[in-house]
Amino acid sequence: MCTGVSYTTRDHYFGRNLDLEFSYHEEVVVTPRNFPFRFRRVDPLETHHAIIGIATIADGFPLYYDAVNERGLGMAGLNFPDNADYKPEAPGSTNIASFEFIPWVLGRFETVDEVEAALAGVTIVDVSFSDAFPASPLHWIIADRSRSITVESVREGLRVYDNPVGVLTNNPTFDIQLFGLNNYMHLSTYPPENHFSPELPLDRYSRGMGAIGLPGDLSSSSRFVKAAFTRMNSVAGESESESISQFFQILGSVAQQRGCVHVGEEGKFEITIYSSCCNTDTGVYYYTTYENSQVSGVDMHREDLDADALVHYPLVTGQQINMQN
Ligand SMILES: C[C@H](CCC(=O)NCCS(=O)(=O)O)[C@H]1CC[C@H]2[C@@H]3[C@H](O)C[C@@H]4C[C@H](O)CC[C@]4(C)[C@H]3C[C@H](O)[C@]12C
């Protein structure tokens, strides 16, 4: 399972938890403007916006999991098993493979409005990158500082939803996830009133009781509610430190601890492999990993963004402990 979040303080921040039981050797990858994106079914993008994010590089191509471009647009792919339905090539349509979707969007567009308009002519086609990397069943959150959308290629076609909570997890489809929030409208950050019975002397014996009923399990629908509640009620200062701390706290509210989610095979568990938070205004990509709670960062603007070769940084994964004596 995974969770993606978009959040704006003074700057706009975009990131995700990547929850999985193994790694595909992902790295922080900067794609400069003149790296040629060669697509399978549409014309190449020889020059485009520069991009930073986490990707697996395969045969020289950045297979992005989540990324941000130099214009402040962010996009992440999250698992969407059994619902994602990629199509045969459609004549007259812009036919994009799922693994090309992030570079195609972030390479070309600056705002969610622009992306939304362009999606009317797009088909996500059922093409694998290679035998080693078959097409993954994904759906996507795309966000700028003022709005987010969710894009799902399902049996009925390409669905684009306004995403007013700025959160995406996994199944079920996004319309059902949003509808599910109706069940939680009574949750509050304030202490509860006794509506149960005036005849009972009920006691507010603890802080936080207004949100009793907020799901705490790690299923995707529960994480959606938990992350949406945390994100919608989140209060953060405007500084970079306060903003990224708050962002990682939001993601931490739905992180997965080793041992809590069996994946079927004995002894294998899903964990939050990394959490990311990219300042889309400055192009700095921050992340933590399961065993490294120290925030690491890569600044895209410290690279030559007019170059034509990928730049990649392996994730810093070991715990960094600041001994004080
Ligand atoms: C599985 C990842 C999403 C995390 C998630 O939701 N996990 C839950 C798994 S489960 O439901 O509980 O089984 C997704 C996010 C990005 C995906 C990767 C990116 O799309 C980049 C390439 C794309 C290639 O087509 C497949 C390999 C791949 C390297 C993908 C592997 C995998 O599907 C990733 C890593």
Tens of pLDDT, residue by residue over 255-292, are 999 999 999 888 899 999 999 999 999 999 999 999 99
Is residue 1 pLDDT above 80, yes or no? no
Chain centroid to Cα 130, Å, comes to 24
Residue 179 backbone class (left: φ over 0; alpha: ψ -120 to 50; beta: rest): alpha
ipTM above 0.90, yes or no: yes
Mean pLDDT of 220-234: 98
User: What is the per-residue pLDDT for 266?
Assistant: 86
User: What is the per-residue pLDDT for 265?
Assistant: 87
CA distances from 299 to 28, 31, 50 (A): 10, 12, 12
> Does ligand 1 come within 6 angstroms of the Cβ of 2?
yes
Sort 44 into a burial class: Cβ within 10 Å, 0-12 / 13-18 / 19+.
exposed
Q: Which letter does DSSP use for residue 172 in this model?
A: S
Q: What is the pLDDT of residues 119-164, one digit of tens each?
A: 999 999 999 999 999 999 999 999 999 999 999 999 999 999 999 9
Q: What is the pLDDT of residues 30-56, one digit of tens each?
A: 999 999 999 999 999 999 999 999 999
Residues making up the chain, counted from first to last? 325
Residue 13 phi, psi dihedral angles, 5° rounding: -125, 140
Average pLDDT in the chain: 97
**Could you give the count of Cα atoms lying within 13 Å of 301 in the half-sphere of its Cβ?**
9
Mean pLDDT of 201-211: 97
Residue with the nearest Cα to atom 23 of ligand 1?
Answer: 99
Q: Ligand 1 test: best mutation among 16, 23, 24, most atoms within 8 Å of CB?
A: 24
The CATH class given to the 2-177+230-314 domain equals alpha beta
Residue with the nearest Cα to atom 33 of ligand 1?
Answer: 136
User: What is the per-residue pLDDT for 223?
Assistant: 98
CA distance 78 to 99: 12
Q: Within the chain, where are the H helices?
A: 101-108, 112-119, 174-180, 220-232, 240-252
Is residue 206 pLDDT above 90, yes or no? yes
User: What is the per-residue pLDDT for 264?
Assistant: 87
Q: Of 62, 28, 64, which Cα lies nearest the Cα of 284?
A: 28
Is residue 198 pLDDT above 70, yes or no? yes
Q: Ligand 1 test: best mutation among 19, 79, 274, 276, most atoms within 8 Å of CB?
A: 79
Output the CA angle 252-20-254, nearest 5 degrees. 20
2 is catalytic: yes
Structure tokens at 32: 């400069």
Q: Of 167, 156, 136, which Cα lies nearest the Cα of 17?
A: 167
Report the b/e string of 166-204 with b at 16+ CB within 10 A: bbbbbbbbbeebbebbeeeeebeeeeeeeeeeeeeeeee
CA distance 161 to 174: 7
Closest ligand 1 atom to Cα of 65: 16
Instruction: Map tokens 């940084």 to a residue.
Output: 313
Is residue 80 pLDDT above 90, yes or no? yes
Q: Of 126, 119, 54, which Cα lies nearest the Cα of 84?
A: 126
